Amino acid sequence: MMTRSAYLGLGLVGVAAVAAFLWTEIGDAPLSSNSASAGPVDIAAGEILYAENCAACHGANLEGEEDWRTPREDGSLPAPPHDATGHTWHHPDSMLFTYTKQGGQATLAAQGIEFNSGMPGFGEQLSDEDIWNILAYIKSIWPERERAAQADRTAQDIASKGDG
């Protein structure tokens, strides 16, 4: 009879094997193959789209607004950074995509969270492909550690939904 430690060890080996497989499949790609992206992404196009649609609030260098953790008088938070100092990489692709497309208020309300989000939805201005390209650009700026952590969160999210 196997002990709990043996089962845990086998589970960790399995996770490592899947991670190794995915790593060999995606290499250094900034957008995880576990994303819901419908196809290949264009980082250069994403950079241009980011400059045109996101930089006014999130900063030309993804640095976010000053005091982004301090709520404004209306309860909303300033735009966070999208570089490694922020929390964007803490979220799976599905959340990042939906938040960008539908906006913060709608995305959080759908999850039962009441929060005054200042993030507008861009679903009317940007195609799904445009949004994936922007996300790919943002991810391309992150150090490997953050990209790997975010890819893992995306894989866990997909697995929890049974989409993978």
**pLDDT in single tens digits along all 164 residues of the chain:** 545 444 444 443 343 333 333 333 333 333 443 455 567 999 999 999 999 999 999 999 999 999 999 999 999 999 999 999 999 999 999 999 999 999 999 998 998 988 888 999 999 999 999 999 999 999 999 999 999 999 999 999 999 987 54
User: What pLDDT sits at residue 77?
Assistant: 92
User: What pLDDT sits at residue 13?
Assistant: 39
Distance, CA of 161 to CA of 151 (rounded, Å): 15
Domain range summary for the chain, segments of one domain joined by +: 29-161
* Residues recorded for the chain: 164
Tell me the two tokens of residue 8. Answer: 């845990």
User: What pLDDT sits at residue 39?
Assistant: 77
| Homologous superfamily (CATH) for 29-161 | Cytochrome c-like domain (1.10.760.10)
- Residue 58 neighbours by CB under 8 Å, 6+ apart: 64, 65, 79, 80, 81, 82
Which residue carries 């759908």 as its tokens?
A: 110
**pTM of the predicted structure, to 2 decimals:** 0.75
User: What pLDDT sits at residue 71?
Assistant: 93
Q: Which residues of 26-53 are buried (b: 16+ CB within 10 A; e: fewer)?
A: beebbbbebbbbeeebbbebbbebbeeb
User: What pLDDT sits at residue 161?
Assistant: 86
User: What pLDDT sits at residue 5?
Assistant: 46
